[in-house]
Amino acid sequence: MPRTRGRAPDGKGRADALSQEVIIGAAVALLDELGERGLTFRLLAKQLDTGPGALYWHVTNKDELVSLAADHVLGHAFATEPCPEESAGAGLRALAVSVFDALDRHPWAASHVTAPATLANALRLLDRIGTLVARTGLPAERQFAVSTAISYYITGVGAQIISPGTAVPADTSRDAFLAQAAESWERLDPADYPFLTRAAPELRDHDDRDQFVTGLDLLLDGLMLTAGPRTGS
């Protein structure tokens, strides 16, 4: 029989004490402190002064909980409505940077904002991107492809920059990781890798946000140049 959401028993006579929103908020705090590996339902239940069984009334498993927590973090990036007087390009840039900053404050969340969008705030993000893209004058038949491309850049590239999926210990700092990567570039043969060997010092010292914004500006500059009726094939 399907589970019915309603008065959730928690074993302590506090049927209405929990909600999915309360659980997600506590999970975000633990994920910020301990990371994804450190989050357990037992620890979360202790934090909320309840039993683990009460949590399962509101979330199916840890994977769902982390996804919902990441979506909660994403929602902070566009809590305010965009300014109507702001240009579409400026609005897209501000939105993208706000998303990057929100995920950068919660690095564990970056890789859990997936495409295509299915959760509430991810859907809102894509809809806002699409609304802004439509304001550029881009033909309607191009708006889906461009909007999703911008969405994939913001969430996908942002995740790669903020939380690269590399085989390094979880407690390795960003500076240590970049130093190791830069050293490996420096050991390459300049005859085979002329650019990478020259760029190694910049890899070690670069700013992630600047790197994200550089790519974003290239993408948005291209959008502004091609907005409006397309000519040719």
Per-residue pLDDT for 158 more than 70? Answer: yes
Q: Is residue 183 part of a domain?
A: no
- Residue 193: its pLDDT value, please? 97
pLDDT band, very low/low/confident/very high, at 228 (cuts 50, 70, 90): low
Q: Is residue 200 part of a domain?
A: no
- Residue 2: its pLDDT value, please? 37
Token pair listed for 189: 């043969």
- Do 160 and 51 belong to one domain? no
- Do 221 and 124 belong to one domain? yes
Q: Is residue 98 part of a domain?
A: yes
- Do 107 and 218 belong to one domain? yes
Enumerate long-range contacts of 83-92, CB under 8 Å, 24 or more apart: 88/132, 88/133, 88/135, 88/136, 89/136, 89/220, 89/223, 89/224, 91/132, 91/135, 92/129, 92/132, 92/133, 92/150, 92/220, 92/223
**Quick one: what percent of the chain has pLDDT higher than 90?**
70
Average pLDDT, the chain: 86
Q: Is residue 13 part of a domain?
A: yes
- Do 84 and 52 belong to one domain? no
Classify 33 as helix, strand or coil.
Answer: helix
- Residue 195: its pLDDT value, please? 97
Domain count, the chain: 2
Q: Residue 46: give its domain's CATH number.
A: 1.10.10
Residues 6+ apart with CB under 8 A from 191: none
220 sits in the region (left: phi over 0; alpha: psi -120 to 50; else beta) called alpha
Q: Which residue has the higher pLDDT, 143 or 78?
A: 143
Per-residue pLDDT for 8 more than 80? Answer: no
Would you say 193 and 185 are in contact if contact means Cβ atoms under 8 Å apart?
yes
- Do 131 and 98 belong to one domain? yes
Q: Span 198-204, mean pLDDT?
A: 94
Q: Is residue 187 part of a domain?
A: no
- Do 104 and 13 belong to one domain? no
Per-residue pLDDT for 105 more than 90? Answer: yes
- Do 54 and 82 belong to one domain? no
- Do 129 and 222 belong to one domain? yes
- Do 3 and 85 belong to one domain? no
How confident is the model over 161-186, as pLDDT tens digits? 888 765 556 667 788 888 999 999 99
- Residue 177: its pLDDT value, please? 85
Q: Which residue has the higher pLDDT, 148 or 114?
A: 148
Q: Residue 156: give its domain's CATH number.
A: 1.10.357.10
Q: Is residue 121 part of a domain?
A: yes
How confident is the model over 42-68, as pLDDT tens digits? 999 999 999 989 999 999 999 999 999
The domain of 25 spans 1-60
Per-residue pLDDT for 27 more than 60? Answer: yes
- Residue 147: its pLDDT value, please? 97
Q: Is residue 106 part of a domain?
A: yes
- Do 48 and 106 belong to one domain? no
- Residue 64: its pLDDT value, please? 96
- Residue 17: its pLDDT value, please? 67
Q: Which residue has the higher pLDDT, 230 or 75?
A: 75
Q: Is residue 197 part of a domain?
A: no
Per-residue pLDDT for 122 more than 80? Answer: yes
